[in-house]
A and B are shown apart, each in its own frame.
Chain A
Amino acid sequence: MTLYLVKRLAVLLASTAVAAVVVFAFMALLPGDPAEIALGVNATPEAVAELRRQFGTDRAPVAQFLDWAGGLLQGDFGTSYVTSAPIGPQIGDRLGVTAVLVLGGMILAVVIAVPLGTFAAVHHRNALGAVISAASQLGIAIPAFLAGILLVFVFAVQAQALPSGGYVPISENPAEWLRSLLLPWLSLGLVQGAVLTRYVRSAVLDVMREDYLRTARAKGRGSTGALWRHGLRNASIPVVTVLGLQLATLLIGAVVVERVFVVPGLGDLLLNGVAQRDLLLVQGVVMVLVAAVLLINFVVDVAYHLLDPRLR
């Protein structure tokens, strides 16, 4: 296990390094010279050249990459060409918001999906199970942003119960913070919960057919007891994999939901950066997102190994 952990950690670091190269290379493909963009269409050539020197974009790409990557290691994402503000703190702030958004949505999804999916599997032959299955199918079929718009319509515009959007830092007002996040969480959590319900149901159905569950019953457990004691941990293995896959999906969902609910998260920062051609910022955000997914992957793999002795 320790060996595996060390190996897996090495892979994580290596992939992150490769990802950094890929991200940097991809950004180099983007049309537009940062200095020209920063100065606008009417800048003088001398000013552009001067700014290029200032930015360091007149140097060889390799030197620029090493400089950037070296900064990353120290948590320094550079200074934006467009806003002349340091990028690191911005990403830090936004990452916090997005993390809260995504994790909250995920937790909600799990809270919805595990009991519902298990219930639907156990009762897969009767009407209630079918109703849950059908409801989860419908939930999957609704785009997250549509769910968000509908939630705003119902809870904010009609009921005037919750804010239609915006974000209040928890340090400013914890109650408002919670209120401002409820609808975004719901729209992420309901849709992802529906997807997850399907996977939980099928995972539980699979273990329900396993011989060891019959063995457990032969020992004297009831079918529910057998499922609890022997089924759920086994079912959690495929579900954990799906959870990892879903976190990436949630990052997508978060960008859209951030737009609908006007939440200043990473996705919002990314879209802004792209629109303003704030290359260094985009580079930083993409890097953070990619590193986050790689890290999630790592955690899922390790969890997988902890859960399943066959892999140890």
Chain B
Amino acid sequence: MRGRMNAGLLVGGVLVGIVVLAALVSFFWTPHDPTLVDAARKLREPGGGYLLGADKFGRDTFSQLMVGARTTLYVGIVAVGIAAVIGTPLGMAAGMTPRGWLSELIMRVNDLVFAFPALLLAVMLGAVYGAGTLTAMIAIGVATVPAFARVARAATLQVMVTDYVLAARAAGRRRPAIAFRHVLPNIGSVLIVQASVSFAIAILAEAALSFLGFGTRPPTPSWGRMLQESQELLFSTPRLALWPGLAIALAVLGFNLLGDGLRDFLDPKLRRIRAEG
């Protein structure tokens, strides 16, 4: 047991767990076909097998939310995955050779990529390859790389001056070995926090892109698009906006809490302080 369970970790874990569970279950079962249009069920009130009612197309809101969870996770996992897989090694490399040309090059390219925010990339990519979930994910992922690289670099710089790394270097260990044995484990908690923040941001970015029409293609359910579609009914049937809005908010909240909780749980620095206190 490395740390203590905390409330944030618990709540975050439960919220994220619900999203993951909904997404997994949706592969095998949803109460109704989430994309089946049925004029007879148009704007059906909740109840009678339609837990949260139906939208203007007569599609079951609950089923849509379940499959929407899948979209949300796709976007988050792929975007954060791209960012972490590219950004972390770059940041570490830059951090381990702080005065070298490599570091300089990485950070300059990083700054350049950083200058292309997710939306700009998504619009540009969407214009070339067509808007869709994939282009949105790639755009969000690439735009998040600099954040990961920066955080990884900053954390690596700190780790590189610690005694154990100095000792390892003095002992003649090679850089890759130091990177894996000492740097990566010690910047892990920082990266987890970054991943959680980025995951949450990715979910929000997907929603924003869907709002602008650059996100997930219809009729694939996505919480962002559900929100966008419900706009014209905001005044007469607010529940259509309420549920996807709530789903986005709770999922983002869940990932943020989970990240915070994990940091408290894993971070040796915090552990020391707690032991002292």
Contacts and interface: CB of A to CB of B under 8 A. Distances in A.
Interface of A: 11, 14-15, 18-19, 22, 26, 29-31, 137-138, 140-146, 149, 153, 157, 198, 209, 241, 245, 248-249, 251-253, 255-256, 259, 267, 270-271, 274, 286, 289-291, 293-294, 297
Given A31-B128, A146-B227, A290-B116, A138 B211 contact: no
B111 A297 contact: yes
Contacts of A140: 200, 252-253, 256
A271 B252 contact: no
Contacts of B256: 137, 140-141, 198
Contact of B112 (A22, A144, A241): A22
Given A251-B117, A286-B120, A15 B127 contact: no
Contacts of A198: 256
Interface in B217-274: 224, 227, 231, 234-235, 241, 245, 248-253, 256-257, 273
Given A293-B114, A294-B115, A297-B114, A138 B249 contact: yes
Which of A142, A153, A248, A259 gathers most chain B CB within 10 Å? A248
Given A251-B117, A293-B117, A29 B227 contact: no
B117 A30 contact: no
B117 A137 contact: no
A8 to B, nearest CB: 11
B256 to A, nearest CB: 6
Interface in B167-212: 200-201, 204-205, 207-208, 211-212
Contacts of A141: 200, 248-253, 256
A297 B252 contact: no
Which of B112, B115, B248, B273 gathers most chain A CB within 10 Å? B115
A15 B112 contact: yes
A270 B122 CA distance: 12
Contact of A252 (B117, B150, B257, B273): B117
Contacts of B114: 245, 248, 293, 297
16 contacts: A14-B108, A15-B112, A18-B112, A19-B112, A138-B249, A141-B200, A141-B248, A145-B207, A198-B256, A252-B208, A255-B119, A255-B212, A256-B119, A259-B211, A293-B114, A297-B111
Contact of A29 (B128, B204, B235): B128
A69 B113 CA distance: 20
Interface in B45-104: none
Given A137-B257, A274-B127, A146 B115 contact: no
Contacts of B200: 140-141
Nearest to A148: B211
Interface in B132-156: 147, 150
B123 interface: yes
Contacts of A294: 111-112, 115
A15 B111 contact: yes
B118 interface: yes
Contacts of A26: 124, 128
A153 B112 contact: no
B229 to A, nearest CB: 13
Contact of B115 (A143, A252, A290): A290
A301 to B, nearest CB: 9
B211 A11 contact: no
Contact of A149 (B147, B150, B205, B231): B231
A291 B111 CA distance: 11
A297 B115 contact: yes
Which of B227, B256, B273 gathers most chain A CB within 10 Å? B256
Nearest to A198: B256
B13 to A, nearest CB: 15
Contact of A286 (B124, B128, B249, B253): B124
Contacts of B208: 143-145, 252-253, 256
B227 A138 contact: no
Given A143-B207, A252-B205, 13 more contacts: A15-B108, A19-B112, A137-B257, A145-B211, A146-B227, A249-B117, A252-B208, A259-B211, A270-B120, A286-B124, A290-B115, A290-B120, A294-B115
